[in-house]
């Protein structure tokens, strides 16, 4: 496994981040524990979750699965750079969601309890809260850092100007502010290249792409359909209907490269300068194994250029659409 620093920090994280959203709803706790053990065995030290993950198992269920795994000991928590998130409503009463100082305090303590740990390495805002001033948010984060409950703060699903706004407020407080941004980013969806990536690079934030295979679209979906392995649904089905010719061209090209489609999609992200670590969310062990393989896939300049032809990206705004 390769490692890099998370944004401008001195924190070393694996180039693959283990996403845990499927743990509980689709992956049983014993299987999830086995996947996490395998991730450590492969050198993956960066795990991502959220307080709201759990779906039909209940909000917070995924954090509990991680907490029970940490409780097994043997250095599991110490070897893990742990990231979780706050924002979504965890109950029906007021102040049980968003980024008020009150909710941050309560949500953080609840996550620590479920995760069975006394600190979180990367505490992320799952979405921008347009109704809470950054002075309040950063005050709450400063208190949590002083208490030793979190080490770093990150964002998720922010626009470029939200990152600038957050960093301006942090600078006024003489604090570090955000160190990472978690965004939807993959070969088929490259909108963040317009403004989010330039903002992140300017302020020293590492990019953590979620849905790196676009819901399976970039994982050899046409081949799997032909072989009867899977039925396309959700985000992948919608995009596939609109971009079937592109996906076919992509699968034809990765066949020429001699690598599985999912490996190439992850490798492409790893070749992007702004990307710290794609977040992969395996349901089963084979999906994790594929992600680990991608670290060793090298794409030369010609291959990268061909992928850009199949899935054109964006230049930095405003040059992408103006002069």
Rounded distance between C-alpha atoms, residue 51 and residue 59, angstroms: 7
Strand partners, 279: 17
Strand partners, 180: 206
Query: Collapsing DSSP states into helix, strand and coil, what is residue 39?
Result: helix
Residue 195, token pair as written in the block: 């403004």
Residue 92 DSSP class:
S
Rounded distance between C-alpha atoms, residue 2 and residue 283, angstroms: 23
Residue 37, token pair as written in the block: 């053990």
Strand partners, 189: 186
Site of tokens 């996550």: 111
Rounded distance between C-alpha atoms, residue 130 and residue 71, angstroms: 37
Query: Collapsing DSSP states into helix, strand and coil, what is residue 99?
Result: coil
DSSP-derived secondary structure for 50-63: -TTTTGGG-TTHHH
- Which residues are marked as active site? 53
Q: 22 with 61: CB under 8 angstroms?
A: no
Please count the helices (runs of H) and the strands (runs of E) in the chain: 11, 10
**Burial environment of residue 151 by CB neighbours within 10 A (0 to 12, 13 to 18, 19 or more):** middle
């Amino acid at each position: 496994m390769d490692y890099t620093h998370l944004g401008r920090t001195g924190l070393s994280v694996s180039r693959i981040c283990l996403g845990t959203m499927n743990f509980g709803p689709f992956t049983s706790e014993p299987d999830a524990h086995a996947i996490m053990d395998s991730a450590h065995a492969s050198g993956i030290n960066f795990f991502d979750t959220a307080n709201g993950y759990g779906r039909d198992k209940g909000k917070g269920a995924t954090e509990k699965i991680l907490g029970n795994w940490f409780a097994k000991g043997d250095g599991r928590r110490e070897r893990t750079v742990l990231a979780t998130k706050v924002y979504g409503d965890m109950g029906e009463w007021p102040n049980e969601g968003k980024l008020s100082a009150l909710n941050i305090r309560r949500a953080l303590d609840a996550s620590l309890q479920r995760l069975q740990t006394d600190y979180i390495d990367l505490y992320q805002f799952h979405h921008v809260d347009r109704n809470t001033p950054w002075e309040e948010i950063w005050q709450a984060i400063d208190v949590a850092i002083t208490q030793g409950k979190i080490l770093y703060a990150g964002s998720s699903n922010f626009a470029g100007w939200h990152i600038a706004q957050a960093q301006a407020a942090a600078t006024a407080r003489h604090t570090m502010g955000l160190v990472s941004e978690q965004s939807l980013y993959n070969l088929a969806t490259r909108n963040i290249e317009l403004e989010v990536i330039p903002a992140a690079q300017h302020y020293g934030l590492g990019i953590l792409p979620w849905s790196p295979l676009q819901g399976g679209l970039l994982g050899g979906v046409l081949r799997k359909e032909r072989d009867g392995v899977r039925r396309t649904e959700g985000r992948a089905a919608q995009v596939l209907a609109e971009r079937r010719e592109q996906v076919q061209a992509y699968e034809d090209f990765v066949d020429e490269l001699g690598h599985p489609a999912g490996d190439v999609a992850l490798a492409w992200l790893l070749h992007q300068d702004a990307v710290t670590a794609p977040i992969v969310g395996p349901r089963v062990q084979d999906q994790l194994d594929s992600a680990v393989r991608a670290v060793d896939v090298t794409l030369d300049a010609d291959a990268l250029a061909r992928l850009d032809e199949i899935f054109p990206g964006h230049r930095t705004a405003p040059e992408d659409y103006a002069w």
